Structure 1
């Protein structure tokens, strides 16, 4: 199981971030993943990190598809890969209706077909076998309904490789599409004990393309806090904040994929109560209501024995890359990574 490091979407000290990533690279960490929501974008920061590192892979988690045409994402990914010497990992995702329509002004329609076509177009661009034209249900290239002057074009440079495409997906149809088409999977709030929630969809998608699921890089995030004296209550409290925010408020009442996921994990009652509180303005109360058992199952905290047990659970679930979220000073975070590397090798 490879290790990665990740960050929150905004509010980072970028100089400190670069020092931490350089330290993680020296320890042997394989990847760094940078998200975006409606704060800092992922690509600018990955370019900043590319210039200061040599080996660590640079992943977007995720580039939001409504923000960019497929051609723009293909160009951006290929450019980052060129600048970094072949280290880019292109994570993409649809986001949700609130962000797609409210922030980017793009309709959230035909999400599965849109994703399929988006990936197909990007791979055609990277292949450069012919000038780009595409006649899909969602994307028409050249565009229809304009001046009629659009012409098929070809990427002006040849990428060194087709980029690895990672999909953020949670719902059964999107997870099946991930297993069918993507090189990697970026599931949010992953509970390894409940891989059964996703198993049928993963198998369905893999069967459609005839692939072996062991070739799918499954990258999951986990809060890391290793030690005999870890302040468990404090770690839980910090971990509940993003979980409560997403279950309660990342989406409308009738369209919240994270709330749906919590229900599929067996927390229907809690998910509804968290959402009710959050949408009524009681955000702190909503976050506090996130069950201990839910955040405990998403993290690696506690003494050596518990960490080793949980690492086995992640491995048994098929996780291939653990994206570590760690707190504290640079030295403290790197020490946590070092200790995890030692335990993962036991």
Structure 2
């Protein structure tokens, strides 16, 4: 099992990246850089490539609606070049609030778009001359634009003809697509003990269509990390984050994270959190997050307990443990976890 961390939204990005540099020396294998509607991920990833030596680096995630497939492929190829083959490409559909509210483009056909983006990226990295008809038509057909577009292939030579693509997905159809076409999966709010009941059927259905050339699906999941005898109170740090996603990341009826909490079996709690959050009562929404949910979605407690949590993630199929160290000794906690995983 490999070990990764997400780069945090808040704070000075240069300082956060310096912390990642230290974590790399402690044994960290990868870092994921979120974008959402904050700083763009590729800029920070380029800086990370210069400051790190061996760890894998990738966006977690780039929304597929914010860039053309060609630009996504170019960005990943450029990152792979400056990092000497250490790039990962995390992609996702995001959600209507960000896509339409921030990027100003319609949130339509997420499954079809995802499939086409993945296919086009792989073709571009192989330096194929690109001709494609679908949601994305390349070149633009006659009657659209100037009519001067012509089929092209990427000018530069990518370091690798295939860069690992990880998809963020939660719903059955998205997860099924992920298991079919992606190199890896980036689920959010992952509860290992309940994962199979929510996603098992979709993962198996997608795997049945998976090309043997892709190999096994890499699964990236985890949560807050703190190892010690008196650290369980640190689980409370997850409350406002869970409340934000379950309560505020989407409208009623179009909140994928709220749907997920309901599928886990917390229907009443999910409804209450959303009601409170949308009424502006964010602290009350955070207080309504079930303690069991916080426990199952984190790795916080004495060493023996955290070892048990690691094994629960492993049993759920997780191959890259993605943790956010929040204890008094984050470097020591990562080093200890690395020792257990080796």
The residue matched to 2:190 in structure 1 has which SS?
A: coil
Q: After TM superposition, give the deviation of residue 213 of structure 1 in Å.
A: 9.3
1:168 — aligned with what? 168
- 1:91 alignment partner in structure 2: 90
Q: What is the CA–CA distance in structure 2 between the aligned matches of 1:179 and 1:219, rounded to whole Å?
A: 13
Equivalent-residue separation in structure 1 for 2:7 and 2:86 (angstroms)? 18
Unaligned 5+ runs, structure 1: none
SS at match of 2:51: coil
Residue number in structure 1 paired with 2:59: 60
1:304, 1:12 → 2: CA distance?
Answer: 29
The match for 2:182 is 182
Q: TM-score, normalised by structure 1?
A: 0.94
Q: Is the 8 A contact 2:65 2:99 kept in 1?
A: yes
Q: Is the CA contact (8 Å cut-off) linking 2:27 and 2:334 kept in structure 1?
A: no
Q: How far apart, in 1, do the equivalents of 2:34 and 2:327 lie?
A: 20
- Paired residues for 1:118-137 under 5 Å: 118-129=117-128, 131-136=129-134
Q: Cα offset for 1:220?
A: 0.7
Q: What residue number does 2:38 align with?
A: 39
**Deviations, residues 104-125 of structure 1 (Å, cap 9, x unaligned):** 1111111111110111111111
- What residue in structure 1 maps to residue 339 of structure 2? 342
Structure 2: unaligned runs, 5 residues or longer: none
Checking the alignment, whether the CA contact within 8 Å between 2:65 and 2:105 is kept in structure 1 is yes
Which segment is superposed worse, 24-33 or 294-303?
Answer: 24-33
RMSD: 1.5
The answer on whether the counterparts of 1:77 and 1:90 sit within 8 Å (CA) in structure 2 is: yes
Describe the SS at the equivalent of 1:215.
coil
Structure 1 Cα separation of the partners of residues 43 and 214 of structure 2: 32
Tell me how far apart the structure 2 counterparts of residues 336 and 307 of structure 1 sit (CA, whole Å). 10
What per-residue deviation string (whole Å, max 9, x for no partner) do you get for residues 118-139 of structure 1? 111111111113x211011x11
Change (3 A) 1:306 1:123: same
Matches of 1:212 and 1:278, distance apart in 2: 45
Once residues 189 and 328 of structure 1 are traced to their aligned partners in structure 2, the CA distance between those partners, rounded to angstroms, is 20
Q: Which residue does 1:142 correspond to in 2?
A: 139
TM-score, length-scaled by structure 2 = 0.95
Retained in 2: the 8 A contact 1:308–1:344? no
| CA distance in structure 1 between the aligned counterparts of 2:148 and 2:215, rounded to whole angstroms | 46
Q: How many residues align?
A: 338
